[in-house]
Every structure is written in structure tokens, then in C-alpha cells.
Structure 1
Amino acid sequence: VEIVNEIGRFPTRNHKRGVFDKVTAVGSTRIRDEFRVAKNSCFNCKIQCKLVTISKKHHSIGEGPEYETVVSLGSGCLNDDLDTLIYANHLCNDLGLDTISCGSSIGFAMECHEHGLIKEDVNWSDADKIVQLVKDIAYRRGLGDLLAEGVMRAAEKIGGGADKFAMHVKGQEISGQDGRAHRSGGLTHATSVRGADHLRGLSVIDEIGYPEIGLRRYGEDKLPAALNRHSEEFKGQMVYDVEYFLSVVDSLILCKYGTMYPLCYYFPDIPDILYSLTGVDLFNDEDNLRRIGKKICLLRRAFNQREGKSRKDDTLPDRFLHEPEEEGPAKGQVVNLDVMLDDYYQLWGFDKDGLILPETLDEFGLEDVKKELYK
């Protein structure tokens, strides 16, 4: 939390800016010292990244909050009441709500109210209202019934320019990154097949700065530009590389910690592990693993292409493209998305409209997919 706020990419006030002036009130230090009662983990993991926290005010114990929740139910709504934020997170867990979409929908409602598009009092920083709306969204009561549709559909129903405040890509609410302060993060959101997804292709080499890893992966001729968070240069390759690597990571059910945060393991490390576990020669080949990763990504993209998705859908809300960041290290920055899209499409073997070229499908043995896409 504190690190990303320092570099100006901590989404605040429904992604209006990237710096939260009350970050210490909701930061990791305070969560650890005042609210954490235990740690939990996946089976046999020594890191134990899962927090067990208590809301003293609301007499609630549960897991989290994770970083994304601190953004969506915290800074995104200008909420610095950490105890109530933790309770709202517990509620989302118990009620089966995604905290990113839920909190983003509430922040959207707050901005709509500010501009007179929603009459009900939904004011910035109102922690009790956040808790009420979490419950109302889950049970589809009152304003919660509208917000349960997500920001894209809610904006369509509200009208009056509400779409300007709907922070989504392909209908999926944007997670806790800001492309104005982290260009590759913006490209990741724009190109993800399931909407604004930070888990399928998010690069942190440029975000936090890993110069030695950057040098190994991209070579001296692409540095320091590739590591510049505010430059579009080489970000197409960065997202391309991470996307097909993480498709292998997900297929093997490996943790993103160690493969994405931080960057401990990469393709050269996987074949030995996989071959030792399976004894299958097919997996003892880095080039073949890379090919499998790319094939997975192409199949996902082909599904969207069949459903009519193209370059027009690989975009970001106007806020990121045309509204300069207001303060912090990224002040004055906007995302020049087209430059990055061109590079990304070329690397993948797409045409200028983001459609997979027939010869790309042939290269990966996807002739059956080609027949369906190019009837």
C-alpha cells in the first residue's frame, strides 16, 4: 500500500488520482499492528500471506483485507476508517461479493451523487454508508439493486453522462492500478480478455523497479526505457511476455507470489521442476513451455474474437486517456494506449484491429480455430 502510494499509482477517489493523503490510516503497518490476530496460508506454504483480522467496532473476525480491497473499499471511496473497511471486507467474503467490483461500484455511486446523478446520499468517506451498500448490493435492495449490475450497466441505466465515472474495461471494474503512473499496467487492463484484469499480465519489473531482472529479460539496449513507468516504450513486449508466462503459472496452479510479486521464478526455472514431478519429456523444454503458454493466450483471445471483440474493446476509460494525473510522481501523465497496442499486436501476430491473423493460428496448430473464425 505505502509503496504504490509513493510512486503515485494508488487509485483514489474512483481513480481520479493516484495518491491518498491518508494512506497511513489504511496502510499495512497499521493493519499488522492493530488489527491482525493471526496468519493463514495455502497448504504447506511458509510465507503465510493471508491475514486474519478483527473489526473491534463491528465484532467481526475474518480473512483480509488484501491490497485490492484497501483500494476499492478504502482510498477509492476516500474511506480512512480502517476498522469499518475491514468489516466491509468480511461482509463481502461472507456474502460472496468480489471486493474490487463491489467497492468500485460504491465509489462510482459516490461520484455520480457528487455530480447530481444519484439523489440518495452517497457521500465520499462515509464508512457506514459503504457497509450499508455492501449489504444492499448483496440482497439487491434499493440503490444496491442498481449497483449490483456493476458500473457499466448501472451507468447505462442512470444516463446523463454517468459513463464518465464508470471505471471498467469490457464491463469488468478496474483493479487497484493506474496506467497513468504505470504504463504496462494500463496496457494489461486494456488487453485482458476478461476485462480489467491485473492477474493475467501485470508486469512489476517497471512498476517497482527490478533493473537486474530487466537487463536479463530485455537486454541493455532496451534499458532504461523499459523500466520507466511513465514511458510507453517496450511495454507491449513486457505485457506480452508476462501474459504468456502467467498462463503457464495458472495452468500449473503456481502462486503469483514468487512468479509475479516478487519475480523469483521465470521460464528457465520451470522445466526442471515440472520434469522432476512428472517425468514427461514434453515439459522438460523451455521453448515448448513458452509455446504452450502462447497457445493458451491465443485460445482465450480467439474466444473473444469469435464474440465480436476487437481493438475497439481493448481500451481504457477516458479518465486514463485524457484526464492528466492531478498530483504525485505521475502528475500530468496520461496513457498513450495506441502506441503500446500496436507493439503488443505485432508481437502476438494480430492485425491492426487486434484480430488474430490466420497464419498465426496455423503456426500454433490451431487450424480448427481458424476455420471457426474465418468461415
Structure 2
Amino acid sequence: MFLSSRRLGRLFLGVSAVAAASLSLAGDQARVASIPTPSGWRQHDVHRPKPTVVEPAEWSLAAPAPKDAVVLFDGRNLDAWQTEAGGPAGWTVADGALVVKPGTGAIRTKESFGDVQIHLEWASPNPPRGKGQDRGNSGLFLMGAFELQVIDSYQADTYADGMAGALYGQYPPLYNATRPPGAWQAYDVAFRAPRFSPDGALREPARVTAFLNGVLVQDNEAPVGGTSWLEAVAYEPGVSTGPIELQDHSHPVKFRNIWLRKLPERRLPTEAERQEPKLIALAPADLDALAGSYLEKQGEHPLKIVVTRQDDHLLMKLPFRATPLRVVPVSPLHFVLPYTDGGLVFEKDAQGRPASVELTIGDGSPRPLQRVEE
């Protein structure tokens, strides 16, 4: 972890109101600072439990990017990258790897992104030098704000929230799944950007799920704010996109095979697409007449459903569900599932008695079932 002058300035300008409000006076009592983190641990607490060490399985690295991926580094050039100030990226490209050039500063993508899936491979220097945070240190910053730590944590000691796989200063990795120094390692990350109300107020925090060398190390965690050092920093109001940034922490860490996929927002249905069923009211006697058992007459494992009345609707009991499903009437013989595209359509015989029913779910073919007496 290292803070650029820009990020350090943002630290002091954007200190979380939660943190600022945590200092209070109570009568003549001394001032006591609460811990402004959901976990209850102070940042970089050396007593915080270390994650269990696991040995990741041997698996293929340097796999080609999906066809729809945005390739950020393919081993050839730094065309997708620039300095924080917008100048040419000053890192080195050698033997198909992107290598931190200590002292040149962080590099970031020219393009900004929101929700993404990211793949990135990295290797810490070998032989290793230093200890604690001064050992193969770099970082992957999502939206230029949320750091997934890159560091040599293989048989090396540092505070839990600063290990490889950590959301730096906030969430330690669930496991220490690092490989030895010099070995290529891989991050696969799903990132959901924060959501804001029209007035800029935070509506949903960012979310990070991350795998290190195929091992889950962050499980849908919500950063309390942007990555900071020593104190909490609030979300930047209304900001939901930003660059991918790689950190210069004075160590020649290597990167390769960096790509991402932009993730779509789930589309809500339009008013015309909602298709909310218009319900009708049926007399209890009409509902009671439809109740009974219905059996499929074909198939190796024929389906049987049991229909009963409850108040102003019917219940459909399927053999593989512990509880029955409610079906509501949209016509005297047509009943639909309130939450699923499907339902029951009854048919009557020549005497006007319910004789069969068709069960439909989604785009599946209707399944005819005949009424049986029991």
C-alpha cells in the first residue's frame, strides 16, 4: 500500500463522517474513539487473526481472453495505460510481462469502467527482499479507488488486512492462497460499482468478489469506502466509474495477461413487459369444483398434482415440493402463478365437470394431466 499525493489529498478532504463522529465527549470522561469499521478491528491490527494457508491447485495461467474482453495488456505494449497525470506510462515491458519501474508512479487505464470481471496475473520478485509490507508490494485498484492487495505473502508475515488477496485495510483474505516468489499468480475478480441516488447519496456500496489462484478470498464484500491509509475515507458522491490502476510501491512486481469484461446492468421490465395478471373473483363453489387430483398419463415418471382451495384461490401441490404453490384466477378456468410465468388451465367434460388440466411453466410445452378419483 502506498498513497500518491492525489490520493493522500483525497484522504484528508474526504474523511468519513462516520469516523469523524466517532470521537465524543461524555461529561468529564476522556475522549474515546470508536472503531469505524463493520468488522470491529482497527486497520492493520497485528492481532487480527491471519487467514488459513491453503496450497492452490496447479492450474493453467495465461489462458486467452474471451472474445468480448477488453485486453489491457497482452505482453506487447502499454497502449491502454497512462500515468495518473495522463502522461505516457513509464513501466517496462520485457519478456511478455509488464514490470513496475520503481519511482515512476502508478499507471492507470485510459478508459474508465464500472461493473467488470477482471483477470490479472502477477509475480513478486525472486529472490524476495524485505519483510512485512516492504516485500513485493503493489496493488490492483478498482475504479482507481478500491485496492486488492498485491504482495508477497508466501511464508511471509504482515498484518492480515495487508496480505495478498486483502481489500487493503478493510477485509483480510479468507485464505492465504499465494504461491512462492517468482511464480505467476492469478486474480479473477467480479466488481460491482457503487450506486448513488440522483442527489449523489450512496444507495449501494461497491461489491468485490475475488479468487486468488482459483481460491475464493473475497466473498461479495462491501468496502466501507475508498482504500485509504490510517483513516476511513467516504465514497465520492455520484462516482460510479473509474480507471483500473496498478500501484508503484518501489518493487519490480511483474504483471501479464490483463483483461476485463464489462458487465451489463440487469434490465428491469418496462410497464408493457410486466404482464401483471388481472385477477377475477370466483365463487367458493366454483373453486371447490376444480379441486382434486390430476395425473399425467404418459412418461416414465408421470407427474401428479393435487389441487385444493384456500380462500379465494387454489393451491397446487407438487410431489417434489414440501409446500403447495398458490395459483390465482384470471378467468374461470385459467389460474396463474403470481411469481412465475406459468399456471394451470382446466378443461371440463360434456357434463361441465372438470376433467383435465394443463400445467405450463415458462416456454415449456404444456403438460396435460387427467383428473383421477381417489
Which of the five TM-score ranges fits, normalised by the shorter chain?
under 0.3
User: When you count helix as a share of all residues, which structure comes out higher?
Assistant: 1
Query: TM-score scaled by structure 2?
Result: 0.23
Larger RCO, structures 1/2 (Cα 8 Å, 6+ apart): 2
User: When you count strand as a share of all residues, which structure comes out higher?
Assistant: 2
Higher alpha-carbon Rg: 2
